[in-house]
Amino acid sequence: MRIHGKRWTILLAVVLGGFGIFWMGLAAEASAQAGPAKKLKIGVAGPLKFPWGKNMAMGAQVAAEQINAAGGVQVKGTKYEIEVIAADSNDYSSVVDAVNTVKRFVTVDKVNFIIGGARSEATLAQQEVMADYKTVYMFSAGGSPALHARLAENYERYKYFFNMFPHSIDQNRMYGSLVDLAATKIRSELGIAKPKVGLVMEKARWADDMVKAAEATLPKMGMEVGGVWRPSPFASDLSSEVTAIKAAGVQIIYEVFTGPAAVVLNRQIGELQAPVVVCGVNTEGVGMGKKYWEATNGMCEFETIIAYDCQNIEITERTKPAWDVLSKRMGEIPYQTAYTCYDAVYMFKEAMEKSGSLESDVLVRELENANFRGTLGIVKFHPKGTKWPHAAVWGPGAQTALGQQWQKGSLVTVWPSGQTPNAVLEPGSGWEGLKYKGTGEFLLPPRVVKAWKK
């Protein structure tokens, strides 16, 4: 009996072991069917050696990490995790490199989407690759309206292109509003009825549009164009330009720079004690954050630019949380490309989940209807059939940007100021009373007051 009992014990163990293996097999099969989350690849092509590109990659990566940690992207019951692949496209120096980076993304890395853009010359060439492979491309920030004119001419080929920030003509309205702010202050405090403006704009395709627009609009705004200077964005000495500006009797410099020459310009304005107010765009300066103040020896004080130190400013409910994480990750003030690329990844997620598709043509239709509450305002695009299809809309209810002035080593928001910009800029409606909480006062440099007060 004991032998018989042992046999039953052995048999029972075998049977139970078999059931265990069976159920383990079923569980393994179910797990294999569910599998790990699938990958969605987003290629980020930018000038990674420069603040513009570094901010692009960081903004996209932070958004991807947040989305993955919150459960990923859910498309018709399938879970996807986002993988960001960043590559230095060398946009500032080589159109060929920029094109090859995007081509490698789609042919080798097999990315689902692309975020890119720094120089319009390079992006125009990248658009051809985008169109050939029908890959949705989000431009990081602005650029020439030529990027959108080709959509107006051949929508079906180029419809995969979207711009996360208003193009250069709308940017001229932004920067022109800063110049208008300075001119208004000069008229009221210094008694100069017709301030003289010097255009100091880097030699680049996108800035060409800015020069033309400024030359056309500033006289209509009650200002005089006192000269045009077009240095290289990488110029290491602008003392002759600053000397010429002083001799021309300019009160305001309208600057447009994406390269490191802006550091040189503002430092030498201080060294040569040029009695001018500097307004406009300086992406290198913003991207350097506090290091920019140090690089200019504090001589950038009172420079007023489009910037995004959002520590004390809330444009939407996303602004402050994004600032907290992006500034911590960068260790300095994030530039606009950090915010726009962060938003772009979230917009891809929203478009996929709403449409239930990863197909480019489906996502194009979804993005065309976007009304996304982003970090810098509401992102929406000009529709098909307009002059600039898929360009970001600018103005109240969309993106307004922030005009910020260096004051005592910090960026202080001074625009929107609650006043409607000059009508010549065609700002549209909704500006009156628009002033974000935390906005301060625009100040004139003391040397300007001393030199020009009547």
**Cα 108 to Cα 37, 65, 100, 104, 105, distances in angstroms:** 21, 23, 11, 5, 6
Q: Which residue has the tokens 């994030």?
A: 334
pLDDT surpassing 50 at residue 296: yes
Tell me if residue 137 falls in helix, strand or coil. Answer: strand
pLDDT value, residue 33 = 42
Tally the residues of the chain.
Answer: 454
- Residue 287 confidence class, pLDDT cut points 50, 70, 90: low
Compute the distance between CA of residue 387 and CA of residue 381 in angstroms, rounded to an integer.
12
Residue-wise pLDDT tens digits, 88-127:
999 989 999 999 999 999 999 999 999 999 888 999 999 9
Q: Are 56 and 46 in contact (CB under 8 A)?
A: yes
- Give the range among 16-25, 66-75, 208-217, 377-386 with minimum mean pLDDT: 16-25
Task: Name the percent of the chain lying above pLDDT 70.
Answer: 92
The per-residue pLDDT for 51 is 84
How much is the average pLDDT of 289-294? 85
**CATH code reported for the domain at 38-168+335-379:** 3.40.50.2300
**Backbone phi, then psi, for 191, in 5-degree steps?**
75, 20
Fold observed for domain 169-314+397-452: Rossmann fold (3.40.50)
Assess whether pLDDT exceeds 70 at residue 390. yes
**pTM of structure:** 0.82
Q: Do the beta carbons of residue 277 and residue 254 sit within 8 Å?
A: no
Q: Do domains 38-168+335-379 and 169-314+397-452 have the same CATH topology?
A: yes
Task: Please determine, for residue 371, whether its predicted confidence score (pLDDT) is greater than 50.
Answer: yes
Q: Which residue has the higher pLDDT, 13 or 356?
A: 356
Domain ranges of the chain: 38-168+335-379, 169-314+397-452
**DSSP symbols for 20-56:** HHHHHHHHHHHHHHH-SPEEEEEEEEE-TTSHHHHHH
Give the dihedral sign, CA 244/248/253/256: negative
pLDDT of 290 reads 79
The pLDDT value given to residue 23:
45
Which residue, 47, 306, 7, is CA-closest to 179? 306
Mean pLDDT across 416-436? 92
pLDDT in the model for residue 437: 85
- What does the alpha-carbon distance between residue 117 and residue 98 come to, in Å, rounded to a whole number? 9
Q: Taking 60 as the threshold, does the pLDDT of residue 9 lie above it?
A: no
Share of the chain above pLDDT 90, in %: 76
pLDDT tens per residue across span 205-250: 878 888 998 999 999 999 999 999 999 999 999 999 999 999 999 9
Phi-psi region of 25 (alpha: psi -120 to 50; beta: other; left: phi over 0): alpha
Residues 172-208: tens digit of each pLDDT: 888 899 999 999 999 999 999 999 999 999 998 878 8
CA trace torsion 177, 179, 180, 186 (10° rounding)? 150
- pLDDT bracket for residue 63 (50, 70, 90): very high
**Distance from C-alpha of 54 to C-alpha of 1, rounded to nearest angstrom:** 79
Beta bridge partners of 42: 84, 113
